[in-house]
Amino acid sequence: MKFIILCFCLLAFNCLAAVALKKISLSDDDFVLFSLRLNDQAINHSIDSFLVDGELFLAIEPLLDSLKVKYQLTGQKLLIWKNDTVNEFILSEQSLGLPSKNLIVAWGDDGFYSYIAADVINQLFATDIISDTRTLQVVIKTSDYAFPLQTLQQLEKIRQQEQLSGYYIQSKGAKAPQKQLEITIPDQYRLITMPIGTFTANVEINENNNRSIIQANFVSDLLYHSAIVNLNKQGNETLRGGVALSRYKTSPDDLILGAFDGYRFGDIASIGDATSLSQTGLGIGFERRQAGYRNQNTAITLTEYATPGWEAELYHNNRFISSVIVPETGLLLYKDLDIYYGKNEFVIKLYGPFGEADQIRNNYNLKANPLANGEFSYGVYALDPSNSVLNDTLFDQSESTPFSLSNIGGNIDYGVNDIWQIGLSYTHRNSTRLQEGLTEDEFVQDAITLKNYFSLPGLLFENNLSLNDNGGYLQKTSLTGRAIYDGNFNIIYESAKAYRNESTTFSNSDFENVQVNYNNHIAGIPISIFYRNRKTNKSDTASLGSRVSYNFGDIYASHTLRYSQTKLEVSELNEFSDNKLTGSLSVSGGIIPSLRIIGDIQYEPSKSNPILKNSKVSLSYTLEDGYNFQHYFRMGYRPLLDKNKWEISHNVGINVNQFQFGILSRYQDGGHWNVNANIQFFFGYDYYNNRALFNSKLYRNSASLNLHAYLDRHMNGVYDALDYNLSGVTIPNLQDWNTLATGKNGRAIIPGLPMNNVFKFDANWKNGAQTIGKNYVLYTHPGARVDVNMPFYLSTEFSGFISILRREEKIGARNLTIDLIGVDERIIESVKTDEDGYYEFYNIEPDDYTIRINSASLRDNGLSSDVIGFNIESPIIGGYTELPGILVQKTNEIMQENIILMSISADDVEQLVWDEDAKERQNYFNMPTKSQVVVDPNLAPPSANERINIEAILAIKKSKLIELKKAKKVRLKKKKLKIDVLTKPGFIIQLGAFLSLEQAKTFKDNLSKTLETPLLLNESKNSKEQVFYTVEFGGYRTKAEAEKAIKQLGLNSNQYMIKTMDIADIPVSVLAPLSDLAPVSIINPLASDFTPSIDDVIRRDNGWVIQFAAYKTQAMANSESVLIKMPNIYVAQKTLRNTTYYCLVSDIFNTKEAAKNALKDRDGWIVQSKNFTKITLSQ
């Protein structure tokens, strides 16, 4: 009844004024500390709550802050925003005591937080809030409404996907327009560049003869074109290969002559379509193709490159198709692969001879015409199919055929709108081919093809009609789309009369062909039903069948059953007919990670021996021995062959980063054997550092970076005389070359760039240094050497805390927006404070900034303060600065809200970039910064008018350096601000805690001698009033400085803890700079000998633990501890509102980040260890 009344009030509120919520008195006996989850996501590990007679009340501020819901809580008024609607609640002070069944009780107050009933949130946001006291979790389950937190996370996910893909993609529409990233490094063609490419050599010895095969692929710039050369030499045969020169567009939208994606001359391939196959020869071609363009709706051709000799398994939508060995050319060509309406994913799984594994994925979403409204696709070509650049004639290698552009053609396709696409093509072919008996057959034909595509909801229609000059025709019509029960179908009808085409075996052939396919999933298992019928002048073949595909883990299986009927006219008087039922079972996959199986069982049930001779099965096993050699064993078996029934093979080799070398031995039934030795590698050359570049992965037709990296002391984005060349700069985006670094001259040639695609990248040098601009985006061609200007700066980082005063206690102010503002008063970046009120800005350029709390964020949360930010004059050498804390207050009035000037000197920051070599460190000094830096990533030299007087600049820079050195000697210390909330503590490192004074003194004396630095020995008491002694070291103004000292000492997380202490209380004699620390090898043994245990320390004041659960009895806590899958679970006492809870907690971590890493996917939350007493190991 109460819930119905509450719903009525809230619904009435949407039309009327504010809703008054009645107050309940809350008792500490009903207090519960829950973790908060939004659906399956943990969003707050600790939220104050009350359970009163089964009614859940949640702390308003932590709840709405966690959900990123906009709200204002001032006095007795609560405003909650839902989308653009403001919902107002009046928190009535009338106290009702315990809730009554007939009263609307919706809020409470414990003197620290205000609490709201979960039912109010459920009704307002259409959620279902469930509490579980056993797991101490509150779960908010959403339906249609998305909280701002969810919306922001979804937008961030889309943004990350866009950055990875290089495109900003609209979410709606099959052919959504794409906004390309701005190309900042233009493509560059040169007269000539150093060739890069791949090399493969193979020598075979068998029982009859020997054979060698050498293959090489080169790519470079030549005569301002992209040149690709493929060479193949087999034994004593003539050298074969191909040469092609191409020119591509320099960006996705920058067409050649305003019309073409590119052109190619030399050895080229003609344009094919549904009724005309492609052919190769010597000639020239121009082409324009939209991204994702396809020639037909029912089939595609996949062309990929892989390592020769590898095994390639093809899968379509998780259905095994075929398994082949990659040929010597490395070219994997899959022709006329069926595709269906909807999603089509093709996966080529590659397995190397030494146990390597790789994958190639291609996705085709068949739901619309190839071209959208207004899009064009076209091309023209002219070639001689009997010649090549190397004049490799088809019939006789010793004779040459006169060059003649005998085959010409062209096509154009246009999207009239999103529903209709039309096309027209013309071909003239004059070719000579060999027929059976080695007789020549001349083929001359002119043909015109008309194309029509229609796209309707759930349906695609295509028709291609080709007419030749002899009155013949060839047509192909297809219909594909969605079918009943979420399936898909396609229907194909082909027919020809007096039409010659390579696809009809190069002879006059009249035929009709009908194909019908239906595909669906039943209980998650893919099932296909198909019908085929092909008629010619002398034959008629029809078949009906089904295919079922399934997988068991990593094993994929496919079973096909087919019934076929064939009629064949032997002569005018005789006719042959045959009816049969056949089937096949194909199996492929991994039994265990190192053992794979491939099987293909063909059978015909009507035969006495139903298993057919072409059935086969093979097993392969990989092994790595103790000498880093890879072994690959394979056994194949064909049980019904008369000979060569079985074969076994063994590959052994080594695959290092530079090359791949192996030896293959094979033995077959019948005494046939062969032994192969092969080597293959990618090659290039870095002439800046005089080093050859090799890689075992074969990068075909790639490009290279010509990188120049330097420390830009002027922060002007160009290399000047006093800028410092950086060694050790790498490109992390190039996976197989991410360890290739620049030399002392700051330069390197780095290969492996993808071609004809947008590629965004950045560079790494040292922590605390960043590239200026971060806008390195290129679009390049095969063989290119792209100049890249890569200036670095020493980055600046700021962090701080925002606190709020609640009932005389400071807590973190969550979800406040903090703005980083440049000198031009534009917001550079905005961040939100976390649950502790913490914020940070990192990787920003040294400059003058304003960091302040966003005014709208203050107003929205009903907050104000006398100080809301800082005008910062940051040091020119970058570095980390912890800003003073700011205290905000809940108030209806706007306070002074001052912005305080802070002048930070180099002595006030923590250096982020470090080098052991003191001379090298001196080189990392920046000259004065500019307000705005524009970087040209291109390394093109300046023109004559842009050349500068280097000597004059040198003189100016030298004078500035002298002035800076003088200023450094007399640098004034930063003035301290006279505001209480802006003071901050110092940090000291505790290295040991002991109950024995003698043990503590021994530890202190030994460690003092080693460090040659005085240590502190302090006496303290724990919660049991036990006296213990701590040995402490150093004194640091920031926690980051202390953590860097710990890192240099090489201490483990259980060997130290960082404590806060007023800097004024730290003796001057103890304040030690980081450079005075002892080497790791000296301090580590001593620290290890005196590891403070949890029994010694009893309680650490500055650590963090993971709390998993809380109980009111210690016995219950001990019994439930076995459910937590984590070593060393402790029972710790916590007192809340005069009630003692027994909590299950983890080991103590010295940093909150370390605790977060340990938490991972476990259910728990992170709290400070100082909240607990009497920590004992669970029983």
Q: What is the CATH number of the domain that holds 860?
A: 2.60.40.10
Residue 818: its pLDDT value, please? Answer: 95
Q: Please tell me which of 19-28, 424-433, 944-953 the model is most confident about, judged by mean pLDDT.
A: 19-28
* Residues 977, 994 share a domain: no
- How far apart, in whole angstroms, are the C-alpha atoms of residue 643 and residue 668? 9
Assess contact for 852 and 818: CB atoms under 8 A. yes
Identify the residue with better confidence: 504 or 651.
651
Assess contact for 164 and 755: CB atoms under 8 A. no
* Residues 1031, 904 share a domain: no
Distance of CA 488 to the CA centre of its chain: 32
* Residues 38, 118 share a domain: yes
Q: How confident is the model at residue 329 (pLDDT cuts 50, 70, 90)?
A: low
Residue 1088: its pLDDT value, please? Answer: 30
Secondary structure of 670-736 in HEC code, one letter for each residue: CCEEEEEEEEEEEEEEECCCCEEEEECCCCCCCEEEEEEEEECCCCCCCCCCCCEECCCCECCCCHH
pLDDT in tens, 871-898: 988 777 778 888 888 999 888 788 889 8
Q: How confident is the model at residue 170 (pLDDT cuts 50, 70, 90)?
A: very low
Residue 425: its pLDDT value, please? Answer: 92
pLDDT in tens, 334-352: 888 888 888 888 999 888 7
Residue 305 maps to which CATH number?
Answer: 2.60.40.3110
pLDDT in tens, 775-817: 789 889 999 999 999 998 888 889 899 998 776 678 888 889 9
Is a pLDDT exceeding 80 seen at residue 855? yes
Q: Please tell me which of 16-20, 63-67, 1115-1119 the model is most confident about, judged by mean pLDDT.
A: 63-67
Percent of the chain, pLDDT > 90? 21
Query: Of 92, 123, 152, at which residue does a domain stop?
Result: 152
- How far apart, in whole angstroms, are the C-alpha atoms of residue 511 and residue 276? 16
Residue 377: its pLDDT value, please? Answer: 92
Count of structural domains, the chain:
5
Residue 750: its pLDDT value, please? Answer: 92
Query: Of 121, 152, 183, at which residue does a domain stop?
Result: 152
- Judged by average pLDDT, the poorest of 344-358, 650-664, 850-864, 932-946 is 932-946
* Residues 866, 971 share a domain: yes
Residue 30: its pLDDT value, please? Answer: 87
**Inside any domain, residue 182:** no
Residue whose C-alpha is closest to residue 52's, from 4, 119, 6: 119
* Residues 144, 84 share a domain: yes
Is a pLDDT exceeding 90 seen at residue 715? no
- Judged by average pLDDT, the poorest of 132-146, 223-237, 908-922, 1130-1144 is 908-922
Residue whose C-alpha is closest to residue 388's, from 252, 181, 242: 242
Identify the residue with better confidence: 1179 or 385.
385
The whole-number average pLDDT for the span 204-222 is: 87
The whole-number average pLDDT for the span 1006-1026 is: 65
1147 by Cβ neighbours in 10 Å (0-12 / 13-18 / 19+) ranks as buried
Residue 130: its pLDDT value, please? Answer: 92
Q: Please tell me which of 206-215, 356-365, 454-463 the model is most confident about, judged by mean pLDDT.
A: 454-463
pLDDT in tens, 80-113: 998 888 998 888 876 544 444 444 568 988 877 8
Instruction: Give me the phi and psi of 571, to 5 degrees please.
Output: -150, -175
Name residue 361's amino acid. R
* Residues 71, 49 share a domain: yes
Instruction: Give me the phi and psi of 973, to 5 degrees please.
Output: -75, 150
Residue 499: its pLDDT value, please? Answer: 82
- DSSP per-residue codes, 403-467: P---EEEEEEEEESSSSEEEEEEEEEEEEEEE-TTS-EEEEEEEEEEEEEEEEETTEEEEEEEEE
Identify the residue with better confidence: 1174 or 304.
304
* Residues 1117, 1019 share a domain: no
- How far apart, in whole angstroms, are the C-alpha atoms of residue 580 and residue 563? 6
| H/E element, 872 | strand 867-873
Is a pLDDT exceeding 70 seen at residue 634? yes
Burial 142-157 (b: 16+ CB within 10 A, else e): eeeeebbbbeeeeeee
Structure tokens at 780: 């390049």
Assess contact for 472 and 447: CB atoms under 8 A. no
| Phi-psi group of 471: left, alpha or beta (phi > 0 → left; psi -120 to 50 → alpha; rest → beta) | left
**Inside any domain, residue 935:** no
* Residues 77, 127 share a domain: yes
Assess contact for 224 and 190: CB atoms under 8 A. yes
**Inside any domain, residue 634:** no
Q: Could you tell me the residue range of the domain that residue 314 belongs to?
A: 300-363
* Residues 1121, 1078 share a domain: no
Percent of the chain, pLDDT > 70? 76
pLDDT in tens, 450-504: 999 999 999 999 999 999 888 889 999 999 999 888 889 999 999 988 887 655 4
455 by Cβ neighbours in 10 Å (0-12 / 13-18 / 19+) ranks as buried
740 by Cβ neighbours in 10 Å (0-12 / 13-18 / 19+) ranks as buried
Is a pLDDT exceeding 70 seen at residue 435? no
Is a pLDDT exceeding 90 seen at residue 304? no
Identify the residue with better confidence: 999 or 113.
113
Residue 230: its pLDDT value, please? Answer: 86
Identify the residue with better confidence: 965 or 580.
580
Structure tokens at 479: 């219909």
Q: How confident is the model at residue 172 (pLDDT cuts 50, 70, 90)?
A: very low
Long-range Cβ pairs for the range 53-56 (8 Å, 24+): 53/98, 53/99, 55/99, 55/105, 55/117, 55/118, 55/119, 56/117, 56/118, 56/129, 56/131, 56/138
**Inside any domain, residue 521:** no
* Bridge partners, 304 (sequence order): 332
Assess contact for 64 and 87: CB atoms under 8 A. no
Identify the residue with better confidence: 553 or 34.
34
- How far apart, in whole angstroms, are the C-alpha atoms of residue 554 and residue 351? 14
| H/E element, 1006 | helix 997-1011
pLDDT in tens, 215-244: 888 899 999 999 998 888 888 887 888 899
Residue 1179: its pLDDT value, please? Answer: 54
Assess contact for 623 and 648: CB atoms under 8 A. no
Residue 655: its pLDDT value, please? Answer: 66
- Judged by average pLDDT, the poorest of 334-338, 568-572, 949-953, 1036-1040 is 949-953
**Inside any domain, residue 608:** no
* Residues 111, 59 share a domain: yes
Q: How confident is the model at residue 1025 (pLDDT cuts 50, 70, 90)?
A: low
Assess contact for 536 and 510: CB atoms under 8 A. yes
Query: Of 127, 152, 177, at which residue does a domain stop?
Result: 152
Name residue 968's amino acid. K
Residue 92 three-state SS: strand
Residue whose C-alpha is closest to residue 707's, from 630, 643, 792: 792
**Inside any domain, residue 700:** no
Q: What's the chain's average pLDDT? A: 77
Is a pLDDT exceeding 50 seen at residue 967? no
**Inside any domain, residue 472:** no
Structure tokens at 394: 């088809």
The whole-number average pLDDT for the span 967-973 is: 33
* Residues 1018, 951 share a domain: no
The whole-number average pLDDT for the span 760-773 is: 84
Residue whose C-alpha is closest to residue 16's, from 91, 121, 89: 89
* Bridge partners, 707 (sequence order): 748, 788
pTM above threshold 0.85:
no
pLDDT in tens, 581-597: 999 999 988 888 788 89
Residue 505: its pLDDT value, please? Answer: 38
**Inside any domain, residue 956:** yes
Based on DSSP, count helices (H) and strands (E) in the chain, helices before strands. 13, 71
Structure tokens at 718: 């160009």
Is a pLDDT exceeding 80 seen at residue 1044? no
pLDDT in tens, 551-570: 887 888 899 999 999 988 76
* Residues 963, 836 share a domain: yes
Is a pLDDT exceeding 50 seen at residue 196? yes
Residue 1074 maps to which CATH number?
Answer: 3.30.70.1070
